[in-house]
Amino acid sequence: MTLKATLVLLLIVVALVLLATPTPTIAADDGNNQTLEGCRSDCGGVRVPYPFGIGNSSSVPHKSCFLQSSFNLACPNSTLYWGNIEVLDINISQAKVDMSIPISSICRDGRNNYTGVSINTPSFTISSEDNKFISVGCDTYGYLYSSYKEDNTTYATGCLTRCYGSSREVEDGHCSGIGCCQVDIPPKMKMTFVKSFSFYNFNQTLSFNNCSYSFVVKKENYTFYKEHLKKLPFDEFPVVFDWSVGNKETCEDSRKRGTSYACKGNTTCNDSVPTGYGYICQCNKGFQGNPYHPLGCTDIDECKTGQHSCVSDHNCHNTNGSYICVCPKGQSGKGTKEDGCQKKNFLLHIVIGASAGFIAILVGTCLLYLTYQKRKLIKLKEKFFEQNGGLILLQQGEESSHTKIFTADKLKKATNNYDENLIIGRGGYGTVFKGVLENKTIVAIKKSKIVDPDQVVQFINEVIVLSQINHRNVVKLLGCCLETEVPMLVYEFISNGTLFDFIHNENKRNYFNWENRLRIATETAGALSYLHSAASIPIVHRDVKSANILLDEDYTAKVSDFGASRFVPLDQTALATMVQGTFGYLDPEYMQTSQLTEKSDVYSFGVVLAELLTGKKPFSFEKSEEKTNLAKYFLSCVKEDCLLEALQVGILNEENKQEIVEVAIIATKCLRLTGEERPSMKEVAMELEGIRLMSKHHWVNNNGDKNFEETQHLLPISSSSERYEHGNSSSGQQTTEYDSIIKDQEVLIALPSGR
């Protein structure tokens, strides 16, 4: 082999060795020694991190290496100084700095009389949690003073130890008051002065103790020994100081100023500092470095440093400020040391996937079905609205704003889904519920049972006309709902029940005197007269009865329930209709002819007057045959001159005999079998109002007994008397005809009872 070949071979071997030799790694910089560009990072082995610094930058002209003047350090002879105090260590994360502080002493041998120590640190404070104040010696006491220039105040602390000339009780390692004493240091002490004193004369010496010492020392950095009483072998001790940035500014104040804010990226600012002023900066959790350095804190890669709870480093994925644990492919779990990872059960995953898919399909199907049902319900409401004449109502209602159309949902909500506890009335035509609208208005909602598709136009006309009726004795129609199969009507709510209840309920009857009965009868007659003659189109109620006369809180009469009512065209006097009404109140002529006229309401009102007078129900199978029908019974009492015996107990007195007889005469007129012979409701209302007015004048009843006897004499004068006759036939024929009609009622009529 030639020399040249040998050299080439040697070079190759050296190269391979170098490649095989591991390259020494440089320890990652933890950030605590970060300094500004061109600035010294240490002095004599002590790190100098920013915001501290030594002088100016060498690469950036006139750029200081420190944040503020109080952090300017010096490094003569490779020793780090703050002023004339040696700096031993700087801790950025805890905002602390260790410095070497001399001790204070006083000796009695005449060689070294007294040494006091002044610690002038206006920008730093002695850490109260990291230091102790200690005095060593027999018969010694020491003080630690602190002054504040801001308010010229001074504070002090200290301790004393006495041996009284004997060191027998002094023990090594014990600084409890004999030979050595120690106290905690109050917080926020700066500009301090340490002074040691002795209780003995300076010229007097003790063989075991020549000097007294006082000093501040970092905890765990001094241990007392008995030999220290002769001479303390230390001149200085390390002392921990707290520091902060921002002078007297808070985080918010400094942040507003912008350029002076010391906390950089990924940091937190804290005003609560031991110094009592300024603020300190700290790296956020998951970050490390120097929070004051312009680069801020950097993310900690927990996966590389092992600061994680994952099963292994391979299961760890680093994130900004944190990390996540994952399981390898084919395994499941949280990936942490506590929970670990498990092999996947593919069959279970298939079942779970299939179940999830089935649930998704089921939920989707349900949503589609609900959507379909919702659209179907909307279309059904639209169908009912049109079927019930909603379009006609909207078209005709443009001329009047009195008719309000309610939605089915609002009425359902108002009645708590038609709660049976809110039912206030039932009848042949429907059920009445008490409801509360959204605006807190209390209403009565009538849910009908019967619907006639051929009468839609007439129903809408009735709604429009009834909503325009404004009479104090007629229940106000507020509006309707047309979105249901059967239209619903909304009325004002009348709170005090029906006239029927007050007549036939013994508990209420005691408070229902004749004066109230006469007033209610007069108000009812006035309301019916208004419907017959004063309304824009005459209205026949067709179901006048005491149960349809409501009483409000003032016992004012309110005629209600127009479910069977019909309009009478202005050019007609009667309507041919199917017979409807309540048994006992029905007009016999209407039952025979099916011709509905205003006089049908007059007859029914006559029954109500008879009901008010006698207190008996219009029809009852429980009574004897002659008392079964109230109209027949009442007319027989008038004819046979026994009216007073038929009156309800408690309404008759000496003052109202005449009024009762006159009302009875009006009732007999209303109960005539032939409608033409009955008075109109207007005439009835005028007569009743006249009786009420006359009762208010005393002169009418001055000869009450005489007038009553004369009136009683007039009642049965002949069968042709117009006071109670029902036609032009004789008495015998009249009675026979009436009885025949009553029997026909029982055979031919099968109508719903009172509502």
Indicate which residues carry an active-site annotation. Answer: 543
Judged on CB neighbours under 10 Å (0-12, 13-18, 19+), 130 is buried
Q: In this structure, are residues 133 and 214 in contact, taking their beta carbons and an 8 Å threshold?
A: yes
The contacts of residue 491 (CB under 8 Å, 6+ apart) are 443, 444, 445, 446, 475, 476, 477, 478, 560
DSSP 263-310: --TTEEEE---TTSSSBEEEEPTTEEE-TTSTT-EEE--HHHHT-S-B
Judged on CB neighbours under 10 Å (0-12, 13-18, 19+), 293 is buried
Q: In this structure, are residues 259 and 269 in contact, taking their beta carbons and an 8 Å threshold?
A: no
Q: In this structure, are residues 309 and 338 in contact, taking their beta carbons and an 8 Å threshold?
A: yes
Phi/psi of residue 298, nearest 5 degrees: -110, 160
The strand ranges marked E within 331-400 are 331-333, 341-343
Q: Which of 323, 321, 343, 348 is nearest to 333 (CA)?
A: 343
Find how far residue 350's CA is from the centre of its chain: 44
Q: Which two tokens stand for residue 620?
A: 């009852």
Q: In this structure, are residues 120 and 145 in contact, taking their beta carbons and an 8 Å threshold?
A: no
Q: In this structure, are residues 228 and 136 in contact, taking their beta carbons and an 8 Å threshold?
A: yes
Q: What is the phi-psi region of residue 266: left when phi exceeds 0, alpha when psi lies from -120 to 50, beta otherwise?
A: left
Rounded CA separation 384/460 (Å): 14
- First vs last C-alpha separation in the chain: 133
Rounded CA separation 192/309 (Å): 48
Rounded CA separation 299/345 (Å): 37
Phi/psi of residue 720, nearest 5 degrees: -100, 10
Rounded CA separation 10/688 (Å): 143
Dihedral sign (CA 339, 342, 346, 348): negative
